[in-house]
A and B are shown apart, each in its own frame.
Chain A
C-alpha cells in the first residue's frame, strides 16, 4: 500500500505539492492526472525518494520513503518521463548494471534482462542504447522498472513516445503486473490512456488532489459538479445570445456547425431552449449526452477554479 500523508513540497516558497493525502491499495493501477505544473512529477519524485518532502511523508509498504530510502527503493521500479540510459552500453548491459545495484548477481541479472527484453520486444537488439529511438528507450525504461520484480511500479508518462504496438504491449504488461497484486502508479496527461489501464485516478490541480476514485465514482460525483453535455444546433449563423444559468460550467460556440456545446451541472436544456426562443433563434436540435473523459477532467478543473 502507498500512503501519502499531508505531503507538501515547496520550491523557493512556491508550493508544488500542497497537503496531499491519499492511499493507494495494493494491486491498484492508479492514474495520476493533471496539467503541466499540477504537481504530478514532484509527487512522483517524492514517492521514489529522489527529493524529500518539505513536510508530510510518503509510506510505501509501511516504510517512510525519506527515512528508509534504500529499503523503499528495493521495493519500487521507476520509469521517468525522459528516461535516460548509458548510451555506450547495450540494453542488456544497462539492465545488468542496474540489476547489480539491486544486489543481484551477474548471471541472475543477465537472465532477468533477457526475460524482460523479450517482454518489451527488445530481444535480439544488440546495438548500444545510444542508437535507440525514443520509443525503444521507453520500452527499455519499462523493462528497467520491472527489473527487480518490484511491489510498486511508478511510471511517468509511460506511453508518450510509443507507437501503437508499443502502447498495446504496455497496456498488456501493466495489466498483467497488476493482476499479480503489484501496485502501479501512472502519471499521464493522456486521459484516454489512463482511463484504459487505471482502476482509480487522482486529479491534481495546483498541487492539490481535487478528486480521487474510479472514473465511475468521479462521474457519480459529477451531479454536484458537471454531469451534462448539451449540444445545440441552430438554423442561423448569427451570433447566439449569451447564455446565463447558475448550473452552466462551460460553453464552446461552434460557428462552423452553427451550434454550441454546453457543459453544465444539471440538464439545462429547457433553459437554453427558452433563451434561444426569446432571441428568435430557431433550434434544429438539442441533445444531452454523458461527458467524455476530457470533459469530466476539465469540469473538475473548472469547478476547482
Chain B
C-alpha cells in the first residue's frame, strides 16, 4: 500500500476549512468589503478621471502645469487594501489558531500520530491545506475585484495586471503571515482559547503597537529632537537684508553671505531625517501590517511623484520616490526596488513562524 500521508492530511485540512463556519463567515465578510471597496474605489477613480479629462481639455490654461497625472486603475485597490489588512489578518488567524490545539483537546492527535505518518507530514499537511484554502479565498476575492472592474468598463493593461498580481501576492503573504503565527501558537498552547488570545495579542502588537512605536513622536524620543535652526539664520529670516516689499507681499531672498550656515543646517537636517527614517524603516520591517501597507501603497499610489511606501495608512513619511508617468510607462523595476525589503520581510514572517511551528510540533510531547 502506497503511503500518501501529506496529501491525505492536506486534502482533509483544505476541505475542513472550506466547510468551516468561521472560514465561510470571515471569507464572506472579506468578499463584501472587497466588493464595497472596489465600488468605492471605482467611483473615486471615475471622478478623478473626469477631472483629468476636464484638465486635458483646458491644457492651454496657465494653471495646467499643476495638474496631477492621469489616475491609475490601481488606485481602485487602495480601499480594498485598507479592509484587507484587517479582515485578512483575522482570516489568517481564524484558520490557524486551533489547527493543532483542537486536535490536542479532542485527543485526535494521539490517534493521528499512531498512524504511519511522519510528524512533518502532519504539520506540513496542515499548513498546505490552510495555504491552499487561503490562496483559493484570495483568488476568488481578486477575481471578483477584477470582474467588478470589467463590469464598470475598466480594462487593466499588462503592467497593471502585473501590479495587481503583486498586490495579490502581498495580500496573500500578509494573511499567510498571520496564519503562520496562529499555527505556531496552536502548537505551543494546549487549548485553542489560549492560542487565540495569544495570537490576537501578537496581532495587535504587530499591527498597532509597532506602528505606534514607529510614529514620529516615539522615534523622536529615541533619536532626539530635530536640529534647531541657528539663531543667526532665524534673525536673518526675521530681518532680511534684501527683502522687497510691495502690495502687502514680502519676498525674502537668501543672504548669499550665509550660505555656509544654511548648508550646514541642511546637512544636519538631512542626517537627522535619514536617522529617523532608518529607525522607522527598521521598526516597520517587524510588522507584517506595515510591510503590507508599504507594498499596497506603492502599488496603488504609484502615480504620486513621491509615494508613501513605508508607514501606516495616512502616514506622511516619505521614503521613496517614483518617477512614473502615465499608466503606459510604469517602470516596474522602479516600483519594485523600494518595496523589495518590505516584500522580503513579509515573506520572512510566515517562513520564520512556520519554521517555529514545525520545530515545536516535531518535539511535541504526546501523552
Contact = CB atoms under 8 A, between A and B. Distances in A.
Interface of A: 41-42, 45, 48-51, 69-71, 73-74, 76, 78, 80, 82-88, 97-98, 100-104, 144
B22 interface: no
A102 B367 CA distance: 22
B3 interface: yes
Contact of A80 (B5, B8, B111): B111
Interface string B90-124: 00000000000001001111111111111000000
Contacts of B221: none
B151 interface: no
A98 B109 CA distance: 12
Given A84-B106, A100-B4, A103-B2, A49 B114 contact: yes
Contacts of B5: 101
B111 A144 contact: yes
Given A85-B106, A88-B16, A103 B111 contact: no
Nearest to B104: A84
A101 B367 contact: no
B8 A45 contact: no
Given A82-B110, A84-B110, A84-B111, 12 more contacts: A41-B367, A49-B114, A50-B110, A70-B3, A73-B114, A73-B116, A83-B111, A84-B109, A85-B111, A97-B12, A101-B9, A102-B116
A119 to B, nearest CB: 19
B3 A98 contact: no
B1 A87 contact: no
Interface of B: 1-5, 8-9, 12, 16, 19, 103, 106-118, 365-367
A50 B113 contact: yes
5 contacts: A71-B116, A73-B114, A83-B107, A84-B103, A98-B111
Contacts of A48: 114
B107 A78 contact: no
A87 B4 contact: no
A82 B107 contact: yes
Among A41, A48, A76, A86: residue with most chain B CB under 10 A? A86
Nearest to B5: A101
Counting from the closest, the 6 A-B pairs by CB-CB distance are A84-B107, A103-B1, A73-B116, A84-B108, A101-B115, A78-B114
A101 B7 CA distance: 9
Contacts of A70: 3, 116-118
Nearest to A141: B111
A103 B4 CA distance: 6
B212 to A, nearest CB: 40
Contacts of A73: 114-117
Contacts of B115: 73, 98, 101-102
Contacts of B1: 74, 102-104
A190 to B, nearest CB: 20
Contacts of A85: 106, 108, 111
